[in-house]
Amino acid sequence: MKILGIETSCDETSVAIVENGRKVLANVIYSQIPLHAKTGGVVPEVAAREHVLKMIPVLDEALIKAKCDWDDIDAIAITHGPGLISSLIIGTQTANVISFVKNKILIPVQHIVGHIYSNWLYGADDNEITDEISFPALILTVSGGHNDMILMSGHHKFKVLGETLDDAAGEAFDKVARILGLGYPGGPAISKMAVNGDSARFKLPRSFLEKDSLNFSFSGLKTAVIREIRKYVTENGMKDESELDEQFIADMAASFQEAVSDVFVYKVLEALKQNPKVKEVMFAGGVSANTRIRSAITEALPLDVKFRFPKSISYCTDNAAMIAAAGYSLFKLHPKRYKPSTNIVPTTSFEIY
Ligand code: KG4
Ligand code: ZN
């Protein structure tokens, strides 16, 4: 079964074609990053206008790359939320129109569920992957807009064990990077700088919250970083942060990344303690691209618990292949539920299903 996925929840216009929920035949991602770098973040109106311009070219490119025409496509999976409403409208309306004109089944997919299913994907050039993911699994989804600890007991059987009480880790990466003058998006820039930094130079707080809490909080860490930077700027008679030296930036990037990493390791181990039957831990969302956090979790996990993260960086950040994968498993679970439709509308709900 070939599903065409569409994702426009934030600042990526993406269309993918995925076979049987796992094999990626095409995953075209048009990133608006250069456009938003000028403002240091996404301006919703600007993002929506860009989606309008790029939607059809990206759609055409995906079909060409996958060597498919419309007759080969069995269904459309579309992100209907959460995300920026003005961005989601472009994707959902495109999907509604295609469903009507081409008479295709339409499957709405929750964006965070899409991130979870990025762990099922592999590339058309990779060896066929046949191993099934064992349940129950624990999922750490970390992006710019959300940060959750989820227990997955079967396909689309989710229980949210914890979530962020303030900033998501990706958002903290972006804000810290902005103050350090590293640009947008912050995650890749911080992890690159951190390679040459001393993670022990700054003693930054780790917010573990109450002993058995699986919630997250990163705003205190962000404030502590800002305080350290201001102190350094003042003590060294600098005009502002633009005069920070390279070594300071690298050390701060490494110290910040280590603090985030320690929190994730602690929370994953705590979640395993509370759910001893868990067989796998999966990492998903834009921050799952971070190699330091991946290796810290890998080292900390007991040997009998498997650790997975998406097989390609392009499956970590927003992409349509993960939406197609999630759409496939929804369709397999409820084959009669989904029909051609023109009624899919955006939602801001964070409910995971
Ligand atoms: O999942 P995503 O593409 O979009 C949302 O749904 O929010 O995640 C984007 C976030 C950004 O905050 C970005 O800074 C972060 O993922 N990110 C990273 C890395 N690559 C992207 N954070 C840490 N390390 C990375 N290598
Ligand atoms: Zn996302």
Residue corresponding to tokens 């103050």: 179
Best CATH choice for the domain 137-309 from the list 3.30.420.40, 1.10.357.10, 3.30.70.20, 3.20.20.70 = 3.30.420.40
> Does residue 132 register a pLDDT over 90?
no
Which residue's CA is minimally distant from atom 14 of ligand 1? 187
- Convert the pLDDT of each residue in 240-299 to its tens digit: 999 999 999 999 999 999 999 999 999 999 999 999 999 999 999 999 999 999 999 999
- Contact criterion met (CB below 8 Å) for 307 and 137: no
- The CATH class of the 2-129+314-333 domain is alpha beta
- At a CB cut-off of 8 Å and minimum separation 6, what does 217 contact? 164, 165, 166, 167, 207, 209
Ligand closest in space to the Cα of 285:
1
What's the mean per-residue pLDDT of the chain?
96
**CB of 285 closer than 6 A to ligand 1?**
yes
- Give the integer Cα–Cα distance in Å for 336 and 344: 17
Question: Would the CATH topology of 2-129+314-333 be identical to that of 137-309?
Answer: yes
Query: Domain segments of the chain: what residues?
Result: 2-129+314-333, 137-309
- Convert the pLDDT of each residue in 189-204 to its tens digit: 999 999 999 999 999 9
Ligand closest in space to the Cα of 111:
2
> Does residue 130 register a pLDDT over 80?
no
- Convert the pLDDT of each residue in 25-47 to its tens digit: 999 999 998 898 888 778 999 99
Which residue's CA is minimally distant from atom 1 of ligand 1? 286
Compute, in angstroms, the gap from residue 112 CA to the centroid of ligand 2.
Answer: 7
**CB of 173 closer than 6 A to ligand 1?**
yes
Q: What is the pTM of this model?
A: 0.96
Buried residues in 113-134 as b, exposed as e (16+ CB within 10 A): bbbbbbbbbbbeeeeeeeeeee
For β-strands 157-163 and 147-154, DSSP reports them as antiparallel
Ligand 1 atom closest to the CA of 177, numbered from 1: 14
Ligand 1 pocket: which of 317, 319, 352 to mutate (most atoms <8 Å of CB)? 317
- Convert the pLDDT of each residue in 54-105 to its tens digit: 999 999 999 999 999 999 999 999 999 999 999 999 999 999 999 999 999 9
Compute, in angstroms, the gap from residue 33 CA to the centroid of ligand 1.
Answer: 12
Compute, in angstroms, the gap from residue 238 CA to the centroid of ligand 1.
Answer: 31
